[in-house]
Amino acid sequence: MATQQTRALGKLAVSPSVFALFMWMIVPLAMTIYFSFLRYNLLDPNPICSLLSPGALLDAENRCLAGITNYSYFLTDPAFFKAMGNSLKLVGWVLAISVVGGTLLALLLDQAFYGRGFVRIMMIAPFLVMPTVSALVWKNMMMNPVSGFLAYLFKLVGLQPIDWFAHAPMTAVVLMVAWQWVPFATLILLTSLQSLDEEQKEAAEMDGTPPLSYFWYIVLPHLIRPMTVVILIETIFLLNVFAEIYVTGTAGRAGNLPFLVYQYGLIANDIGGASAGGIIAVILANIVAFFLMRMIGKNLDA
């Protein structure tokens, strides 16, 4: 409900951010799409491709058009399938851990106990830690197979310490990323739990509802909406996990799609290949986004 005047002002007010985001999205995307069809290497910007493949088409800067070579190369690179698998594994596992773990922790924090504020901030803290720091701390002080704290604990109970990054790199990465994101889920779910109507609790109590049924029929439906928020936001960030892999050097075995593109581009300097990879990542993310947005869109209406 507003007048045309206000609506006109509204359009004006919204336009800077729309313009900025549009440029931020469209310009790089267009360039990436263009590059993905070029034979373009930063170390060798103008390969003498007419010698290699006579009759090849050139663009204005004398770069060879590569057709779909970059795509076919990227898509047939065994590293691609591995990276995609790793991406999905990472997102799936961390989401599962943070939704389940977050719910349990939120239920715990919703109880009355001494020092609740302090425990809460301890549980939030991992979310505030820079990913690079988290990666280094876990890689060294926690997971080092000789003097790491986990190794010490394993020995304490008579087990063989695990060399996490050599034998279970994916587990290690999932563990440390989950450590950062469970607190986030906990917090959102806790906030939602605390908004649960007190009278509903009392009504359930008057009806003699056992605790498990109470959780299943009253608490869980109430948590569905915040859970979708957790899933949406975490997916956005988890699809793009980068620093943990960059810093721990687990690229070979736990590297995900973003890291593979980074390797193509800034390490191998293969701009064409990296761009093709980037476009593929964008397409995959959009497929995921499509379903997520529908889910969250329904929730926004509610």
Partner 1 sequence: MARTVSTRRKLLVTALAWAIGLLIFFPILWTILTSFKTEGEAIALPPKFLFFDWTLENYGIVQERSDYLRFAMNSIMLALGSTFFALVIAIPSAWAMAFAPGRRTKDLLMWMLSTKMMPPVGALVPIYLIFRDFGLLDTRGGIITVLMLLNLPIIIWMLYTYFKEIPGEILEASRMDGASLGKELLYVLTPMAIPGIASTLLLNIILAWNEAFWTLSLTTKDAAPLTQFIASYSSPEGLFWAKLSAASTMAIAPILVLGWFAQKQLVRGLTFGAVK
Partner 2 sequence: MGTISLIKARKAFGDAVIIPGADLDIKDGEFVVFVGPSGCGKSTLLRMIAGLEDLTSGAIHIDGKDMTNEAPSKRGLSMVFQSYALYPHMSVRGNISFGLKMAGLPKAEIDAKVAKAASTLNLTEYLDRKPRQLSGGQRQRVAIGRAIVRNPEGFLFDEPLSNLDAALRVNMRLEIMQMHKDLGATMIYVTHDQVEAMTMADRIVVLNRGVIEQVGSPLELYNRPDSLFVAGFIGSPKMNLIQGSEAKKFDATTIGIRPEHLAISEKAGTWTAKIRLAEHLGADTFLHVDAGPCGMMTVRAEGEYDATADAKIFLTPEPSRIHRFDKDGKAIRK
Residue 204 binding: pick among partner 2, partner 1, none (C-beta 5-8 Å cut-off by kind): none
Binding segment toward partner 1, per CB under 8 A, in 57-65, 91-99, 111-119, 210-218: 111-119
Site for partner 1 in 54-93 (CB under 8 A): none
For 267, residues 6+ apart whose C-beta sits below 8 A from its C-beta are none
The nearer residue to partner 1, 64 or 150, going by C-beta atoms, is 150
Q: Which is nearest to 63 in space by CA: 48, 79, 78? A: 48
- Residue 6 C-beta: closest distance to partner 2, Å: 9
Residue 147 binding: pick among partner 1, partner 2, none (C-beta 5-8 Å cut-off by kind): partner 1
Binding segment toward partner 2, per CB under 8 A, in 2-10, 96-104, 151-159, 227-235: 2-10
Provide the 10 A C-beta neighbour count for residue 53: 10
Binds partner 1 by CB under 8 A, chosen from 90, 91, 95, 188: 188
Q: Does 12 bind partner 2 (CB under 8 A)?
A: no
Binds partner 1 by CB under 8 A, chosen from 112, 206, 212, 302: 112
Q: Does 224 bind partner 1 (CB under 8 A)?
A: no
Binds partner 2 by CB under 8 A, chosen from 4, 17, 76, 160: 4
Task: Please count the residues of this chain forming the interface with partner 2, following the rule CB under 8 A.
Answer: 5
